[in-house]
Amino acid sequence: MIEATNDIRERALAARVIQRLAGPAESIAGIQDIVCDELALLDFAEASADAEKVRAAARELLAMIVAVGETGVVLSDRQRLRHDLRTPINAIIGYSELITEDFEDVLPKPLLADIRTVVGECALLLSQIDRVLGPEADSASLSGSAVDGLVAASLEATLTHATDAETRETGHMLVIDDTHENLDLMRRQLGRQGHDVTTADSGATGLEILETTEIDVILVDVLMPDMNGIELLSRIKAHPKWRYIPVVVVSGLKDMRAVTRCIAAGAEDYLQRPVDPVLLHARVSSCLEKHRWHQRELRYLAEIEYERDRADALLHAVLPAPVIARLRAGEKVIADRVPSTTIIFADIVDFTPWTANMDPGELLRRLTEIFLAFDDLAAQHGVEKIKTIGDAYMAASGVPLPFDDHAERALAFARAIIGEMGRLTDKQMEIRVGLHTGPVIAGLIGRSRFVYDVWGETVNIASRIESTGVPGRIHLSAETRQRLTLQGATGFEPKQSHLKGLGDVRTFLTD
């Protein structure tokens, strides 16, 4: 019986964890159904073909998570499960980004936004998978939180102790009394109603049981030698884990001061012996229902907190933290003129031939690995990632928060991503990096789907400087070089470049 009970609890806890994965997966599948239907109406055959691949991968992902929820999570299979779940996710991200890259200029903006939402949900799901199943997760990660434990205990009590569909709700009772006859009578009375009853002949024993056992209602006597019932009640209500367990005092002591003291200490009721079985059952049922409602409240609060965390995680994935703070403060329009910032463009050299010769899945995996590494380096150097455009990576130093050393930070970031590119690809792939310093307009565009971006001639020049650069080196404008020189930087090699719209200009190369 104990093994069966433990199995129920373990499965319930595993199912709770799986719920955290199923939410984003259901969102991905649902939004992708909308994307496929919209593309079918627009008659974009090529885009529809890739979208159907995304839909198939999304359904495969959801089916895998549902299957895991039905069978439970096995600790020894955790890494394999993590690997298996990542396969369809990578396919979803890859084909979705191919659609946005190939058809960005022709597809309606709301449809493109839905496709990007699918990619964003995939990022959220990957973070959930890493937190629950990653190499640094221990068994507690699979066991869930204290709230998850309460949910599992509720299910365990229902499945283990209920008799039939018409039976009143039952639970696990703890009766604490130093008199053997009283314990036996309470055990039999409560047991007849279908409750599981644990007894303790002292307050100390009762506290030990509470440490290891999930209890729904406690019934306690007042007159006990080691610790009287009022003292025991005070200790239970002072404990953060036990304070919400309903306590009914059952005693032969007929003293109004004892009654009022027990109620003031947190007792749900005070029943005087001899107790009518019908009244006892009514009080216990009322306490049990209250406890169940409290458990539900905890579950709802946990769900609200989880959804809020999801929303915050997604918001921080697409917007800078200072911009989020301004939105929460009530700003309707966020647009800033930044007098001096350094724009960084990085582009993978000969990316198109790579797409022709490499397996799509491997290409996507490698591209994702590269850009995720760039994201980490941007955070380390205080540089704000703006966006990726195909195989190009755009960032800005000095927005949304201005700082004097933005050019120096941009140069350090550029050097870091060149080095990281060589390390990640074994020097098989190279990038060109271009830097330009000047004024920009930075702000938030959109209403329901925000995008933080920068605009201005500085951005255009930075892009052209990158495109005329040298693979594996940093190409920078005279404005950026002047700013760096003022900060003590040296080692710049002059270069004459022809930039579209500007003609021949003096630029510089550095490593």
Reduce the DSSP state of residue 327 to 3 states and report it: helix
Closest CA to 178 of 237, 231, 220: 220
pLDDT per residue over 149-159, tens digit each?
Answer: 565 566 666 55
pLDDT surpasses 90 at 345? yes
- Dist CA 342 CA 409 (whole Å): 9
Q: CA-based angle 278:279:283, to the nearest 5?
A: 120
- Dist CA 215 CA 209 (whole Å): 9
170, 193, 327, 486 from 414: Cα distances, Å: 65, 72, 31, 19
- Dist CA 437 CA 344 (whole Å): 9
Structure tokens at 392: 């190009």
Q: What's CA 73's distance to the chain center, in Å?
A: 19
DSSP code, position 266: T
> What pLDDT is attached to residue 500?
85
* Residue scoring higher pLDDT (6 or 52): 52
Contacts with 106 (C-beta within 8 Å, 6 or more apart), sequence order:
44
pLDDT surpasses 70 at 164? no
pLDDT surpasses 60 at 401? yes
> What pLDDT is attached to residue 8?
60
Within 10 A of 58 (CB to CB), how many other CB atoms are there? 29
Work out the percent of the chain whose per-residue pLDDT is above 70.
86
pLDDT surpasses 70 at 160? no
91, 101, 367 from 360: Cα distances, Å: 9, 14, 10
3-state secondary structure 130-143: HHHHCCCCCHHHHH
Structure tokens at 169: 């709700």
Please compute the mean of the pLDDT values over residues 74-99 and round it to a whole number. 82
What pLDDT band is residue 276 in, cutting at 50, 70 and 90? confident
Structure tokens at 49: 């073909």
What pLDDT band is residue 377 in, cutting at 50, 70 and 90? very high
DSSP secondary structure string for all residues of 463-510? HHHHHTS-TTSEEEEHHHHHHHHHTT----EEEEEEETTTEEEEEEEE
Contact 341, 440 (CB under 8 A): yes
Q: Which amino acid is at 26?
A: E
> What pLDDT is attached to residue 183?
86
With DSSP H G I counted as helix, E B as strand and the rest as coil, what are the percentages for the chain, rounded to 5? 60, 15, 25
Q: What's CA 166's distance to the chain center, in Å?
A: 40
DSSP code, position 270: E
Structure tokens at 429: 């792939």
pLDDT surpasses 90 at 264? no
* Cα Rg, the chain, nearest whole Å: 32
Closest CA to 237 of 205, 209, 265, 213: 265
Task: Please list, residue by residue across 386-420, b when 16 or more beta carbons sit within 10 angstroms of its beta carbon and e when fewer do.
Answer: bebebbbbbbbbbbbeeeebbbbbbbbbbbbbbeb
* Residue scoring higher pLDDT (112 or 307): 112
> What pLDDT is attached to residue 5?
47
Average pLDDT, the chain: 83
Structure tokens at 454: 């920068």
pLDDT surpasses 80 at 234? yes
* Residue scoring higher pLDDT (447 or 406): 406
- Dist CA 172 CA 253 (whole Å): 26
> What pLDDT is attached to residue 126?
86
CA dihedral 461, 467, 470, 472 (to 10 degrees): 100
pTM for the whole thing? 0.43
- Dist CA 125 CA 119 (whole Å): 10
